[in-house]
Amino acid sequence: MIKKVILDRNQQPTAEQIRQIEEAAKREIIFDEDSPELTPAMEKAFRLAAKNRNTQRKTMIS
C-alpha cells in the first residue's frame, strides 16, 4: 500500500510519519510481474530519464 502525504515547505513530518518511514525502510523489496527488478541497463535509462526531467523542470522554473 502506498501512502501519499503532501507537506508544506516549512512543515515537518509527524513522529508517526517518521516511524512509518523507518518501518518501511526495514522491509525487504518484493518484486513481481507488475514491478520487476531493474536490469543494469534499465536502471541506467531510468536515471538518465530522471536527470533529463529534472533539468527541464529547472528550465521551466527559471
Burial 20-35 (b: 16+ CB within 10 A, else e): eeeeeeeeeeeeeeee
The predicted model scores a pTM of: 0.47
The pLDDT score that the predictor gives to residue 61 is 65
Q: For residue 33, what is its C-alpha cell?
A: 510481474
Residue with cell 536502471: 43
Q: What does the pLDDT profile of the chain (62 residues) look like in tens digits?
A: 777 878 788 888 889 989 999 999 999 999 999 989 999 999 999 999 999 998 877 776 66
Give Cβ neighbours of residue 45 (< 8 Å, ≥ 6 apart): none
* pLDDT tens per residue across span 42-55: 999 999 999 999 88
pLDDT of amino acid 55: 85
CA atoms within 13 A on the CB side of 38: 8
Determine how many CB atoms are found less than 10 A away from the CB of residue 17.
Answer: 13
